[in-house]
A = this chain, B = another copy of it.
Amino acid sequence: MSNIPAASIGENWKNIDTPALVVDLDNLEHNLTTMADYAKQQNVRLRPHSKSHKCPAIAHQQIALGAVGVCCQKVSEAEVMVNHGILDVLVSNQVVGRTKLDRLAALALQAKVMVCVDDLSNIQEMNEAAKSFNATINVLVEVNVGSGRCGVLPQEPVLALAEAIMLCENLNFSGLQAYHGVAQHIRSYEGRRRAILQATHQVEQTINLLSMHDIECDVVGGGGTGTYIFEATSGIYNELQVGSYVFMDHDYALNLDDQGQQINDFKQSLFIKTSVLSKPEVDRCVLDAGLKAYSTDSGLPVVYNIENAEVLGAADEHTNIRFDSSLPVPRLGDSVTLLPSHCDPTVNLHDWLIGIRSSQVQAIWPIAARGALL
């Protein structure tokens, strides 16, 4: 059931078979270092999200640069990270049902495990699971700070759950999860700033209420690649859970900075290498990659480094592209590089991440948590 990688170590970029998921190692390292340095400078902890890369090799680089651990979105994803030596994981999501809670509790015997909750019955079931393994699970209450997905409302509902957690022998109340997903993709700087300002205000009120009840928050977590500056400088959030900054994607790159320019704090490091499979017209090419090589939930991919190339459509295994016939049009078999619109679900389609530097293949990393759905 395993697929062969599209390259060998030492090969030239042009010999990588296609389609292949390729990471530019210089750009990746730039991104990893930039975020790690920024977190240190702002005196906030960094716990990058591994759901973006699903790749223990990258998680270990993040830890080496100072990250306190990683976030995962699924218990099975956390298992992969722990099994690969990442010994501090936050499942930044609810875990519901005894089957998964047992897996989480067992994992807490091997590593420091945190998880989010937003429901009283879930807390009780989690405590039973932890008890049956004689394990301790660290728990964050998820606060809905404006994204309208999971989480309870700020203040009293958080207090009620925090108090419930503190009554559980095998659970440890660790703080708050206050991620604002929707804010990440607000295009304007001011719009993102205002959204996180509002979230911060709600979190602060909640912390104050908890404090009045002698409940302290070790972790106040949130922040994504679109807003991390605002959480880091809020004076309230103390842990950043950024994910996409490692790769960036075309959608994030459309966010604007405070000068109204496209943001450029991180570099695009993730690419899909494809080849021209068919050239039915002089200016139209069909590539050998489609919906099974990149996700389209945030739009079609964009052609890299070729001007005026119009992506006409994507099918399961094809991308149809119209090129500007006044420029050189790729020939049959030529390589065409695509920028994915959304990196996380794109990475999840691949088994291998090919790392290149100066056009040479220098790393072939298994995307070990690909397809970790449970």
Interface residue A317 (Cβ < 8 Å from any Cβ of B):
yes
A17 touches B144 (CB 8 A): no
Q: Do A317 and B3 form a contact, CB below 8 Å, given A150-B278, A278-B150, A286-B149?
A: no
Chain B minimum-CB-distance residue to A49: B316
B118 touches A1 (CB 8 A): no
Bound Cα distance A344, B280 (Å)? 25
Interface residue A366 (Cβ < 8 Å from any Cβ of B):
yes
Interface size class of A (residues with CB under 8 A): 35 or more
- Encode A269-292 as 1/0 by CB contact (under 8 A) with B: 000000111111000001011011
Q: Which residues of A from 1 to 37 have beta carbons under 8 Å from B?
A: 1-4, 6, 17-20
A316 touches B370 (CB 8 A): no
* Chain B residues with CB below 8 A from A200, complex form: none
Bound Cα distance A190, B62 (Å)? 58
Interface residue A187 (Cβ < 8 Å from any Cβ of B):
no
A74 touches B317 (CB 8 A): yes
Interface residue A348 (Cβ < 8 Å from any Cβ of B):
yes
Bound Cα distance A18, B121 (Å)? 19
B99 touches A17 (CB 8 A): yes
Q: Which residues of A from 103 to 118 have beta carbons under 8 Å from B?
A: 118
* Chain B residues with CB below 8 A from A151, complex form: 278, 280
A4 touches B368 (CB 8 A): no
A345 touches B291 (CB 8 A): yes
A1 touches B2 (CB 8 A): yes
B149 touches A318 (CB 8 A): yes
A-B contact pairs, 23 of them (CB 8 A): A1-B368, A4-B374, A17-B100, A17-B374, A18-B374, A20-B373, A73-B316, A93-B277, A96-B278, A96-B332, A96-B333, A122-B332, A150-B318, A181-B315, A291-B295, A291-B342, A292-B345, A292-B348, A292-B373, A296-B296, A348-B349, A349-B371, A351-B371
